[in-house]
Amino acid sequence: MKSLALLALIAAAPAATPPSAADIVRDAPAAAWVAVPPEDLLVVDSAKGRIVIQLAPGFAPAHVAAVRKLARDGDFEGGAVVRVQDNYVVQFAAKQGRTAPPAPSPAGKAQLPAEYEQPASGAFTPLPYPDAYADQAGYVAGWPVGRSAGSQWLVHCYAMVGAGRDEPPSTGDGRELYAVSGHGPRHLDRNIALVGRVVEGLANWTSLPRGTEALGFYKSAAERTPLTRARIAADVADAPRFEVMDTASPTFRAYIEARANRRESFFLRPAGAVDLCNAPVPVRRKP
Amino acid sequence: MKSLALLALIAAAPAATPPSAADIVRDAPAAAWVAVPPEDLLVVDSAKGRIVIQLAPGFAPAHVAAVRKLARDGDFEGGAVVRVQDNYVVQFAAKQGRTAPPAPSPAGKAQLPAEYEQPASGAFTPLPYPDAYADQAGYVAGWPVGRSAGSQWLVHCYAMVGAGRDEPPSTGDGRELYAVSGHGPRHLDRNIALVGRVVEGLANWTSLPRGTEALGFYKSAAERTPLTRARIAADVADAPRFEVMDTASPTFRAYIEARANRRESFFLRPAGAVDLCNAPVPVRRKP
């Protein structure tokens, strides 16, 4: 039982500043983190540094399987970063991949199932703010999703990775992958298979010169950044390991609240809301 | 009066494909474009190319006046691009400008009025879709704005330019300007004075290496990109001239509708909506 003197001290103490989103991530308990299976990490080395991609087999199993096979068959070696379009995407291709804009229909063909959306399922943490593109924005299993009419889909936020395709009925085959490098191009949602997100190293490629051809493709082979190697982390003894915040955890809910209500001393007027792509799921190197 | 035969032909003709957003911009009548006053164009030359900024005196008159004076006094010469933070901003500074993160209060001081929002005014074209940050998103006088409770403000979309500041009560003095280079950081809305937008050349700077210090500042002077010159277009005989689409025009409304409902053959499922930063106001070189 507290003494009256202690209670008086507590009452007189200034209100503690609630933690910022950075504080919450830094202090998150071990239980709030989920290890990324090494089978879901694609490590891509290039002449301009490494990027690491977390694959999303729960949303695009056939595309992810195709990407894993390409990596294990060595098909990305000899490939290159072929496209850098400002405020849009950075795209890389396997050695047999496309180095020019999508072909018009009917050249395209369906190579894989159209894994563009799926029935709503999984533990859903809603983002309690309006979204222009979905009836409800939120998170499932560590990923940003939109939900409408019983369906859910991964959304095009910064660093999300999709499988480039030709015009319909093409669905892409994993030989061209792009990472979002600008304002979230949400109009692509439900039109392309998103297969994962870059969890490390994206700035190595977003700082590349922009391509000067249509859609930011490079004009010549000399402009492209060669890929030297691409491996699945499960096959590599010293590959980096990552953890993603559990989006069903109370810690993640506190993080969302703090992203919506910035308490850092720089801010005069917290927004009181946040959009899906401005509340990215925290990812870290496994400590 | 049309003949029955002609009517039959009309009925049998396939429905014309409605124009895409690109078609609408390309075919926009001269009346749908508004010339940018040369007094509102800041032309910045650097060791890595030129960027052109359209200033917004209607929203931040004191900050814009300060930027014009700095340019005319030659204060940007000898300055540099001092900060490139991935998925956030590219920042440049006059020769007396800050090259490190904002100072904590109370070092900051109010240099200029806090031009962060203003009473709602002007011809408003609403964007008919939900926005997480404002009661109503839309456009006024060629600019993207948020509106809530009788107030309006410029919003942080890609390429928008703001006046960096220290912590409150600092309001910035125009010596540090940043351009948004990632997903629209809308949490900065109403917390900083936005002074304009880059209308040409931003990719020259977004492709610069990211800074490795806190907030993406460069560590050494050698990493910074020097500014060689900054001028107001009104003072330069051969300066480029620009036009902005009239956001109160029927053409602009058609453009918004087409951005929300992509009809290009690549798309299987038009979103039926668009967010403010994915419907940027068209700007072009004066033909």
Sign of CA dihedral B3, B16, B22, B251: positive
**Which residues from A are below 8 Å from B88, CB to CB?**
none
Strand order in the sheet with B242-245: B33-35, B242-245, B283-285
Is the pLDDT assigned to residue B100 strictly greater than 70?
Answer: yes
Q: Span A227-250, mean pLDDT?
A: 97
Under an 8 A CB cutoff, do B271 and A185 touch? no
By C-alpha distance, the chain A residue nearest B270 is: A187
Residues 78-137 of B with CB under 8 A from A: 84, 86-87, 102, 104-105, 116, 129-133
**Which residues from B are below 8 Å from A182, CB to CB?**
158, 182-183
Q: To the nearest whole percent, how much of chain B has pLDDT over 90?
A: 86
Please state, in angstroms and rounded to a whole number, the distance separating the CA atoms of residues A165 and A109.
Answer: 9
Burial of residue A122 (number of CB atoms within 10 Å: 0-12, 13-18, 19+): middle
**Which residues from B are below 8 Å from A168, CB to CB?**
265-266, 268
- For residue B124 the two structure tokens come to 């408003």
Neighbours of A264 (CB within 10 A): 13
**Which residues from A are below 8 Å from B132, CB to CB?**
129-131, 273-275
Element (H, E) at A179: strand A176-180
Please state, in angstroms and rounded to a whole number, the distance separating the CA atoms of residues B170 and B178.
Answer: 16
Give A174→chain B minimum CA distance, Å.
Answer: 17
**Which residues from B are below 8 Å from A159, CB to CB?**
87
Contacts of residue A26, defined as CB under 8 A and 6 or more positions apart, other chains included, come to none
Contact B184, B191 (CB under 8 A): no
Tell me if residue A108 falls in helix, strand or coil: coil
Is the pLDDT assigned to residue B14 strictly greater than 60?
Answer: no
> Can you give the pLDDT at residue B255?
98
- For residue B29 the two structure tokens come to 């009548």
Give B283→chain A minimum CA distance, Å.
Answer: 16
Q: Are strands B89-93 and B143-148 parallel, antiparallel or unpaired?
A: unpaired
Q: Span B11-15, mean pLDDT?
A: 49
> Can you give the pLDDT at residue A8?
42
pLDDT in tens, B36-78: 999 999 999 999 999 999 999 999 999 999 999 999 999 999 9
Residues 15-74 of A with CB under 8 A from B: none
Q: Span B130-157, mean pLDDT?
A: 98
By C-alpha distance, the chain B residue nearest A201 is: B86
- The residue type found at A40 is D
pLDDT in tens, B217-260: 999 999 999 999 999 999 999 999 999 999 999 999 999 999 99
Phi, psi of B39 (to 5 degrees): -70, -15
Is the pLDDT assigned to residue B10 strictly greater than 90?
Answer: no
DSSP string for residues in A119-148: E--S-EEE-SS--SSSSEEEEETTEEEEEE
Contact A49, A204 (CB under 8 A): yes
Quick check: A149 contacting B, CB < 8 Å? no
> Can you give the pLDDT at residue A43?
98
> Can you give the pLDDT at residue B15?
56
> Can you give the pLDDT at residue B163?
98
Q: Which pLDDT band holds residue A5 (cuts at 50, 70, 90)?
A: very low
Q: Which pLDDT band holds residue A199 (cuts at 50, 70, 90)?
A: very high
- State the Cα angle at B125 between B124 and B127, rounded to 5°: 130
Contact A141, A130 (CB under 8 A): no
Please state, in angstroms and rounded to a whole number, the distance separating the CA atoms of residues A83 and A215.
Answer: 8
Give A280→chain B minimum CA distance, Å.
Answer: 11
Under an 8 A CB cutoff, do A183 and B278 touch? yes
Q: Span B143-169, mean pLDDT?
A: 97
By C-alpha distance, the chain A residue nearest B148 is: A271
> Can you give the pLDDT at residue A17?
80
Contacts of residue A40, defined as CB under 8 A and 6 or more positions apart, other chains included, come to A54, A55, A56, A57, A64, A196, A233
Phi, psi of B281 (to 5 degrees): -65, 125
Under an 8 A CB cutoff, do A207 and B269 touch? no
> Can you give the pLDDT at residue B97?
73
pLDDT in tens, A8-48: 444 444 456 889 999 999 999 999 999 999 999 999 999 99
Query: What does pTM read for this prediction?
Result: 0.94
**Which residues from A are below 8 Å from B187, CB to CB?**
259, 262, 267, 270-271, 274, 278
- For residue A227 the two structure tokens come to 């890929």
**Which residues from A are below 8 Å from B274, CB to CB?**
132, 187
Q: To the nearest whole percent, how much of chain B has pLDDT over 70?
A: 92
pLDDT in tens, B200-220: 999 999 999 999 999 999 999
Quick check: A275 contacting B, CB < 8 Å? yes
Phi, psi of A200 (to 5 degrees): -160, 140
Sign of CA dihedral A38, A41, A46, A48: negative
Contact A211, A99 (CB under 8 A): no
Closest to B182 (Cα-Cα) out of A277, A161, A197? A277
> Can you give the pLDDT at residue A108?
61
Neighbours of B231 (CB within 10 A): 18
